[in-house]
Amino acid sequence: MANIILNPDWQLKESACTTQAAYKNRRIFLKSLGLGTMALATGGFRCSNNAHSASSGELDPDGPLDTIPDDAPRDGYPAARNPDFTVPERPVTDRLVSSSYNNFYEFINQGNLKRVWPHTGAFQAFPWTLEVRGQVERKQTWDLSDLIRSMDLEERIYRFRCVEAWSITVPWTGFPLSKLIERCKPLTRATHVQFTCINRPNQLPGQATAHWYPWPYFEGLRMDEAMNELAFVAVGMYGEPLPKQNGSPLRLVLPWKYGYKGPKAIVRIEFTRKQPKTFWNELQPQEYGFLSNVNPNVPHPRWSQASERFLSRENVEERIPTQIFNGYDRWVSDLYPDEPRTPAGPIIR
Ligand code: MTE
């Protein structure tokens, strides 16, 4: 690990958004595990306390949207909005902000992490195939453009909450994950589903250089979570196909969970008989659990989750309280009888 360059502003930002006592405790805790350098070097998340444009650079009016692949299918756009999924209490985030302030470690995982789009040039999102494997009636491999054209696309506006305590509101275009799962024909003995993402170091500069990550990115859900009405496969946003930095050609959106549970650029869906491993849990199990539901009562070990920075436009952000399940309680609360409803530990505000 000696040749790994640590992001020099890491400690400043981490300490800036955490009480000093909590920050010191974490250093002691990591030291006791012998994890100090390792956890920092793997570039785990950090609570981002800065104005979003300050860390992403000035917003370029063209660049972030020029990354929408020319060959993405556009049939069915703009899709009709589903009136059951809107966010009346917040403005929709400006699309330039949603496409300029990202997390996509395959493209960049050191330095100015949020400025992803300039690193996407070599990535070819189409043609794309999606494999279905594991506990299914029959293994299948689909051409994604054909699959998208065969689905009824709809638009849903969802709140989106990152574990780093920033949030946005996004109109996604896509279809319910349950519709895709029905086509996969899983066997009744499948209890979970794992999603595996792209593995192409020749097109992904972050994947090519950061060998300490367990590429490719992988995530998982219980079957009842995956079949929930909210679980959505996004192939577009803001009435157009997804830009590369937002997960082209397809990604999951699970609005009641932290953003890292939504894998981008998925190549394989595998149905399993036990809980699958997940990328961030493998790297930092003490910080990232399997469920990872948005919950203001459960602080991250390094920062509070009680509130979030809502990003609406460049340089415009508001500190707002975080809601349990990100405000989607009525859809998902039955799935999680054990989710803490009162503060589960000292909350750092
Ligand atoms: N999927 C892949 N393949 N690689 C990633 O690094 N980052 C996750 C998630 N999905 C990630 C990923 C994280 S941490 C977040 S917050 C969201 O994507 C960010 O999505 P956005 O950049 O479109 O807002």
pLDDT of 121 over the 90 cut: yes
Question: 311 CB under 6 A from ligand 1?
Answer: no
Q: What is the pLDDT of residue 328?
A: 98
Who contacts 242 (Cβ-Cβ below 8 Å, separation ≥6)?
Answer: 68, 72, 234, 235, 236, 248, 249, 250, 251
Question: 171 CB under 6 A from ligand 1?
Answer: no
Contact 253, 174 (CB under 8 A): yes
Q: What is the pLDDT of residue 46?
A: 84
Q: What is the pLDDT of residue 345?
A: 65
What does the block give as tokens for 302? Answer: 């390094």
Beta bridge partners of 220: 194
Distance of CA 166 from the midpoint of ligand 1 (Å): 13
Question: 255 CB under 6 A from ligand 1?
Answer: no
User: Between the ranges 1-5, 55-59, 207-211, where is the mean pLDDT highest?
Assistant: 207-211
- Give the ligand 1 atom nearest the CA of 280: 14
Question: 177 CB under 6 A from ligand 1?
Answer: no
Distance of CA 246 from the midpoint of ligand 1 (Å): 8
Alpha carbons 158 and 178: distance in angstroms, whole number:
17
Name the strand (E) or helix (H) holding 310.
strand 307-313
Mean pLDDT, to the nearest integer, of 219-223? 98
Query: What does the pLDDT look like over 76-104, one tens digit per residue?
Result: 999 999 999 999 999 999 999 999 999 99
